[in-house]
Structure 1
C-alpha cells in the first residue's frame, strides 16, 4: 500500500506508466466529472463513483487478484483501513467476474485518508475497507483507477 500526494506523481512515471497515467487523469479531473468508466490506457481505466461514507462498512475488507486500485476522493475525503490479505479471513468466495474477495473486518495494520491531495495505491495483497467516514458520514465523489496486473 502506498499513500502519497498528487504533487509527487512524476515519481510514478519511472515505476509504472499505467499508474502514472491514472494519476495524471486524477490530477486533471474536474470535480464535476460525470460518473462512469473512462479508458486511460490499454491496461488502465478510471471509475468515477459517488456514495455516502459510513461509520462502518457492511462488507469488511476487499482485495483484488488482477488489478491495482489507485483511489482518490475528488470531493470530500474517505478513511480507508488496510491490512495484508495474509492476516485476513475471507467471508465470500472469490468473484472471478468482478475480481474481488471480501474479508472479515479485523484491526487494521493502518489507515489512510484519501482526498485533499492524498491518494492511495492498493496492490493485490492489500486488503482495503472503503466507505469509512473521515469524521461524520457524508457524501464523497471518488475516482478509482483500475490497473491490470
Structure 2
C-alpha cells in the first residue's frame, strides 16, 4: 500500500507508467468531471464515481486479484480502513467478472483519508473498506484508477 501526496507524482514516472498516467489524470481532473470510465492506457482506466459516505459500510473489506486501485476524492474526503488479506476471512466467493472478494470487517491495520492532495494505492494483497465517512457522512466524488496486473 502507498499513501502519498499528488505533489509527488513525478516520482511514479520511473516506477509504473500506468500509475503515473492515472495520477496525472487525477491531478488534472476538473471537480465537475462527468461520472464514468475514462481509458488511460492499454492496461489502465479511470473510473469517476460519487456516493454518500457512511459511518460503517455494509460489506466490510474488499480486495481485487487483478487490479491495483489508485484512489482519490476530488470532492470532499473519504476514510478508508485497510488490512493485509492474510488477516481476514472472506464473506463472499471471488467474483471473477467484477474481480473482487469481500471480507469480514476486523480491526484495521491502518486507515487513510483520501482527498485534499492525499491519494492511496491498494495492491492485490491490500484489502480496503471504502464508503467510510471522515467525520459526518456526506457526499463525495472520487476517481479510482484501475491498473491491470496478472
Shorter-chain TM-score bucket reads over 0.9
Tell me the alpha carbon deviations over residues 46-93 of structure 1, each in whole angstroms, 9 at most, x when there is no partner: 000000000000100000000000000000000000000000000000
* Distance in 2 between residues matched to 1:84 and 1:14, nearest whole Å: 26
- 1:131 and 2:131 equivalent? yes
Structure 1, unaligned runs of 5 or more? none
Secondary structure of the structure 2 residue equivalent to 1:21: helix
Q: 2:131 is paired with a residue of what secondary structure?
A: coil
CA distance in 1, matches of 2:20, 2:43: 12
Q: TM-score, normalised by structure 2?
A: 0.99
Give 1:74's aligned residue. 74
Q: CA RMSD in A?
A: 0.2
- The size of the alignment, in residue pairs, is 149
* Displacement of 1:40: 0.3
TM-score (norm 1): 1.00
Q: In the alignment, which residue of structure 2 is the partner of 1:50?
A: 50
Cα distance between partner residues in 1 of 2:87 and 2:12: 28
Q: How does 1:1-149 map to 2 (within 5 A)?
A: 1-149=1-149
| TM-fit CA distance, 1:30 | 0.2
- Deviation sequence 1:126-147 (CA, Å, 0-9, x none): 0000000000000000000000
Q: Distance in 2 between matches of 1:89 and 1:12?
A: 32
Which 4+ residue blocks in structure 1 deviate beyond 6 angstroms?
Answer: none
Give unmatched runs, 5+ long, in structure 2.
none
Cα deviation 1:88-147 (Å, max 9, x = unaligned): 000000000000000000000000000000000000000000000000000000000000
